[in-house]
Amino acid sequence: MRVKHLLGHQSLKYKNALRATGEVIMPFKRPRPPPVPHATNSSSTSTLLSTNHEHKRLRRGCLHGIKAYILSAKIDGAEYEILIGEAEENGAELCKTPAEADIIVTAIGMKKRLERHIDWNMAKGKAVVRPDWIRDSVKKSEALPCGDYAAISDLLDSSIENCPESSSSQSQPPDQAEASTSQHQSTKESTLPDLVYEPRYKSRFACERYSPLICPNQDLVKELHIIKLAREMESEERSALSYSRAISAIKAFPEKIKSMSQISDIPYLGDKLTGMIQEFLSKSTISQARQLSSDTRYQTLISFTSVYGIGPHTARHLYDLGLRTFDDLSRYLGSDDNAEGSGGSFAWREGLRLRDELSVKIPRAEVEEMGRLVDNALQDILPGSESTICGGYRRGKLESNDVDIVFTHPQGQGNKANNMIARLVERMRKDGLITHTMHAPSVRSKGSLRPPTNHDGWDTLDKSLTIFNLPKTSPYYKGIHRRLDLIYAPREVYWTAVVGWTGSTMFERDLRLWAKQKGLKFDSSGITRRRDTKALYATSERDVFKLLELEWIEPRLRNADL
Ligand code: 8GT
Ligand code: MN
């Protein structure tokens, strides 16, 4: 939903707008998620469950049962994300506060600095280790002793003393542990040929995996998507990301999942996800997803965020005020008390007015017609321009929520950008094609739902988020407003921009992580080498992949989200 696109700065604006009405922002009530059904080894004798159980045992991570707090200070965003992912995937329970944790992971090496974040006396009661404790434990498949990893010398002894043990090693009786190890080895042996041919779905990076529009496990993915959306609605970003990662990994799995033994190589499936998949295999649904989809709070938040300009934060606030329907919302916005002139309410009212139209999906033929009209306008004012329809359309989606068009001009270099966008928009406005515009800030503000989080914004390209209207003379005219994003890229970064705007979101997120581990920085506005910030220019879309040392993946296989 492109609505999210605007969240970053808008939610803040609206927050102030709401505050101005004198209403108190109440803490939101969160529906307690139903307990995740876990496989048990108790009564069932069905083969499915017993293989599942076996499987679960195999997958139980080396950090299982360990309560960890990862302090983000001094850890760079991408690295933080990788650490969190690794810890979660290997069974660690991530805590929101250091007090709840057994082990504190930090890149801080000095007592004074640590004390800025964590109470010293509390730290003394825990193990306090460096991030490589997670990495090395995962590599060795066991929670390693903390002594070698103590983050701060003064805390060495207490870290050794308080070093947690994983319940995966603790709770298994010796014979079982042995069975599990030997099984583990036998799985390893049986996958030996994979060393020669490593299927792409195993990669930890969505930008290495083939992700078709519709995958063999699409129903499972849809169910998980509901849970992911619910997390987004509650601004539980990290949890939402775990679901996005799992969804993305399942999207690339080439077979229909019929038994748990098939999924052991799919990355990012921790205990919770494994349990859910197990449930899905036996019931074709996931109870948590079912419950959510009939939950009033979930439904209301989803529908409010479908209004252009309303993000989860605002939606929760409106919900807490007791609003449930669009009529409620409309009444609320219509009331003079709430109609302060600062723009927030106006934008909402406008969004609400257009909502029904904007929620109608755009068929491919109409997307193409819009592309032609944009290109005509472009050629008129900037002859020789080039444009590409990106986004979901380019990935093969039959219907799109909006249209994303990236364009460039042979003479357009460097910072003449402003001009190009303004000229195009002005022209289309005059022709009656564009009815509303929202100039996006070039850098997305933090706190936006949209990833990636490894840097502050998507890019520094100039763009305009507009509302578009086909001319009555067009054979596709239905009198429906459409969302159209126009993005100008200087010639030399045109292909990076095309890759950056083709998506899907997880593909993009991992592209950035991938680039990072290659010592590069990728975003839609260019590729740079980190060590000397030298810019690398691609001359084609394939060249973008080549520069990133990535194998080519065609746009239709970049559907790494739902
Ligand atoms: P849809 O339009 O049918 O919903 O599907 P979509 O085309 O895949 O989603 P979208 O929300 O239109 O986003 C298109 C792609 O543009 C996304 O995959 C994302 O990678 C990228 N994208 C944004 N916002 C921004 C942005 O501000 N800068 C850049 N460079 N890319 C962005 O969504
Ligand atoms: Mn789009």
**Residues 429 and 319 placed together within one structural domain of the fold:** no
- Cα 1 to averaged position of ligand 2 atoms, centre (Å): 8
Average pLDDT over residues 202-207: 95
Give the C-alpha separation, 212 to 280, whole Å: 21
Structure confidence at residue 344 (pLDDT):
60
Give the C-alpha separation, 42 to 141, whole Å: 27
Q: Which atom of ligand 1 is nearest to the CA of 403?
A: 2
Give the C-alpha separation, 286 to 259, whole Å: 16
Average pLDDT over residues 142-151: 90
Which of 176 and 449 is assigned the larger pLDDT?
176
Residue closest via CA to ligand 1's atom 24 equals 5
Q: Which atom of ligand 1 is nearest to the CA of 1?
A: 4
**Residues 328 and 382 placed together within one structural domain of the fold:** no
Q: Is the CB of 397 under 6 A from ligand 1?
A: yes
Asked if residue 374 is part of any domain, the answer here is yes
Give the C-alpha separation, 193 to 183, whole Å: 17
Read off the pLDDT of residues 236-267 as tens digits, 9 standing for 90 and up: 999 999 999 999 999 999 999 999 999 999 99
Tell me the residue type at 197. Y
Asked if residue 40 is part of any domain, the answer here is yes
Average pLDDT over residues 200-207: 94
Asked if residue 228 is part of any domain, the answer here is no
Task: Kindly indicate the confidence band of residue 196, based on its pLDDT and cuts at 50, 70 and 90.
Answer: very low
Read off the pLDDT of residues 73-121 as tens digits, 9 standing for 90 and up: 888 877 787 888 888 888 899 998 999 999 999 999 999 999 999 999 9
Residue 276 pLDDT > 90, yes or no? yes
Read off the pLDDT of residues 489-544 as tens digits, 9 standing for 90 and up: 999 999 999 999 999 999 999 999 999 999 999 999 999 999 999 999 999 999 99
Instruction: Please state whether the predicted TM-score (pTM) of the whole model is above 0.75.
Output: no
Helices 47-59 and 174-190 sit at what angle, rounded to 10 degrees?
90
**Residues 353 and 447 placed together within one structural domain of the fold:** no
Number of structural domains in the chain: 3
**Residues 344 and 465 placed together within one structural domain of the fold:** no
**Residues 15 and 149 placed together within one structural domain of the fold:** yes
**Residues 334 and 430 placed together within one structural domain of the fold:** no
Residue closest via CA to ligand 1's atom 1 equals 401
CATH number for the domain harbouring residue 417: 3.30.460.10
Asked if residue 329 is part of any domain, the answer here is yes
H or E stretch including 15? helix 7-20
Give the C-alpha separation, 508 to 501, whole Å: 8
The mean of the pLDDT values for the chain is: 81
Q: Is the CB of 392 under 6 A from ligand 1?
A: yes
**Residues 150 and 96 placed together within one structural domain of the fold:** yes
**Percent over 90 (pLDDT), the chain:** 62
Which of 26 and 165 is assigned the larger pLDDT?
165
**Residues 11 and 159 placed together within one structural domain of the fold:** yes
Which residues lie across from 528 on neighbouring strands? 521, 535
Whether the Cβ atoms of residue 410 and residue 489 lie closer than 8 Å to each other: no
Give the C-alpha separation, 62 to 135, whole Å: 11
**Residues 174 and 317 placed together within one structural domain of the fold:** no
Residue closest via CA to ligand 1's atom 29 equals 458
**Percent over 70 (pLDDT), the chain:** 77
Residue closest via CA to ligand 1's atom 25 equals 458
Whether the Cβ atoms of residue 270 and residue 280 lie closer than 8 Å to each other: no
Average pLDDT over residues 295-321: 95
Average pLDDT over residues 428-434: 96
Asked if residue 551 is part of any domain, the answer here is no
Structure confidence at residue 46 (pLDDT):
32
**End position of a domain, from candidates 452, 481, 501:** 501
- Which ranges of 335-412 does DSSP label H, i.e. alpha helix? 344-358, 364-381, 391-394
For residue 168, is the peptide bond before it cis, meaning its omega torsion is within 30 degrees of 0?
Answer: no
Structure confidence at residue 464 (pLDDT):
92
**Residues 395 and 323 placed together within one structural domain of the fold:** no
Q: Cα-atom radius of gyration of the chain, to the nearest Å? A: 25
Structure confidence at residue 363 (pLDDT):
97
- Cα 6 to averaged position of ligand 2 atoms, centre (Å): 13
Both tokens assigned to 121: 């006396």
Asked if residue 143 is part of any domain, the answer here is yes
Read off the pLDDT of residues 461-500 as tens digits, 9 standing for 90 and up: 889 999 999 999 999 999 999 999 999 999 999 999 999 9
**End position of a domain, from candidates 189, 210, 227:** 189
**End position of a domain, from candidates 333, 358, 383:** 358
Residue 338 pLDDT > 80, yes or no? no
Structure confidence at residue 413 (pLDDT):
56
Q: Which atom of ligand 1 is nearest to the CA of 483?
A: 2
Q: Is the CB of 85 under 6 A from ligand 1?
A: no
Task: Give the range of the structural domain holding residue 174, as residue numbers without chain letter.
Answer: 5-189
Asked if residue 252 is part of any domain, the answer here is no
Both tokens assigned to 391: 């986004």
Structure confidence at residue 169 (pLDDT):
58
Both tokens assigned to 379: 């050629």
Q: What sign does the CA torsion over 474, 360, 328, 437 have?
A: negative
Whether the Cβ atoms of residue 444 and residue 524 lie closer than 8 Å to each other: no
Give the C-alpha separation, 329 to 322, whole Å: 10
Both tokens assigned to 202: 């195993």
CATH number for the domain harbouring residue 45: 3.40.50.10190
Residue 230 phi/psi, 5-degree rounding, is -60, -40
Query: What are the DSSP calls for 86-117, one per residue?
Result: HHHHTTPEEPSSGGG-SEEE-S---HHHHHTT
Q: Is the CB of 159 under 6 A from ligand 1?
A: no
Which of 164 and 12 is assigned the larger pLDDT?
164
Structure confidence at residue 562 (pLDDT):
92
- Which ranges of 284-343 does DSSP label H, i.e. alpha helix? 287-293, 296-305, 312-320, 326-334
Task: Kindly indicate the confidence band of residue 141, based on its pLDDT and cuts at 50, 70 and 90.
Answer: confident
Collapsing DSSP to helix, strand or coil, 380 comes out as helix
If you ran DSSP here, which 8-state letter would residue 463 be given?
E
**Residues 352 and 386 placed together within one structural domain of the fold:** no
Task: State which of 407, 463, 505 you would mutate to test the pocket of ligand 1, scoring each by most atoms of that ligand within 8 A of its C-beta.
Answer: 505
Both tokens assigned to 209: 């995996």
Asked if residue 195 is part of any domain, the answer here is no
- Which ranges of 410-552 does DSSP label H, i.e. alpha helix? 417-430, 494-502, 505-517, 541-547
Residue 22 pLDDT > 80, yes or no? no
Whether the Cβ atoms of residue 380 and residue 411 lie closer than 8 Å to each other: no
Structure confidence at residue 412 (pLDDT):
58
Task: Kindly indicate the confidence band of residue 352, based on its pLDDT and cuts at 50, 70 and 90.
Answer: confident
Q: Is the CB of 451 under 6 A from ligand 1?
A: no
**Residues 133 and 10 placed together within one structural domain of the fold:** yes
